[in-house]
């Protein structure tokens, strides 16, 4: 996405998604949330990371992370990576299984993308990546919010 005008907001959910920024002190809850999201998908990524590895990640100055909360319960995870050249990557984005299929993904991605556009210096591009390990509806949500496929790889 090369302009915030390209964002197509998702429909508002009946349930409000609150984003709480987290840092290295919350490494254990971030790790646990990540595992809850990606373990059922048989994804690889950071499933084996320790709390110390998560703490180091969350300490990096280019990394900003948020927990998505619904009625006080942790429902998802967002990590943005801000580069010095004005690009912001949505490098971690997902909902835990109990919150999938409830219409929250579109609203959550809308808010994540809005945050990404606000973090740059100035922001020139917001990007994300997906894989066949992600939820079956992930790519459709990304495209519906206005993201376009930039490249594709087969491994």
| 113-151 pLDDT tens trace | 999 999 867 899 999 987 766 776 776 777 778 888 877
Which of 37, 18, 20 shows the shortest CA–CA distance to 98? 37
Look at the pTM and tell me if it is higher than 0.85: yes
Write down the domain spans for the chain. 4-144
Residue 105 has pLDDT above 70, yes or no: yes
Span 4-144 CATH architecture: 3-Layer(aba) Sandwich (3.40)
Q: Which of 118, 70, 69 is nearest to 90 (CA)?
A: 118
Judge whether 70 and 18 are in contact, CB under 8 Å.
Answer: yes
Q: What is the C-alpha to C-alpha distance for residues 144 and 142, in angstroms, rounded to an integer?
A: 5
Q: Look at the alpha carbons of 128, 27, 58, 106 in this order and tell me if their dihedral is positive or negative.
A: positive
| Per-residue pLDDT tens over the stretch 47-70 | 999 999 999 999 999 999 999 999
> What does the pLDDT look like over 107-121, one tens digit per residue?
899 999 999 999 867
User: Does residue 37 have a pLDDT over 90?
Assistant: yes
């Amino acid at each position: 996405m090369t302009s915030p005008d390209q964002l197509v907001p998702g429909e508002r959910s009946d349930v409000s998604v609150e984003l709480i920024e987290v840092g290295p002190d919350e490494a254990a809850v971030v790790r646990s949330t990540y595992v809850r999201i990606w373990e059922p998908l048989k994804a690889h990524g950071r499933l084996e990371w320790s709390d110390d590895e998560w703490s180091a990640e969350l300490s990096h100055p280019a990394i900003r992370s948020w927990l998505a909360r619904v009625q006080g319960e942790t429902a998802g995870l967002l990590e943005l990576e801000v580069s010095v050249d004005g690009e912001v990557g949505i490098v971690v984005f997902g909902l835990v299984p109990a919150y999938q299929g409830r219409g929250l993904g579109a609203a959550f991605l809308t808010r994540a993308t809005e945050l990404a556009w606000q973090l740059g210096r100035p922001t020139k591009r917001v990007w994300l990546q997906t894989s066949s390990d992600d939820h079956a509806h992930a790519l459709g949500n990304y495209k519906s919010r206005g993201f376009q496929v930039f490249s594709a790889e087969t491994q």
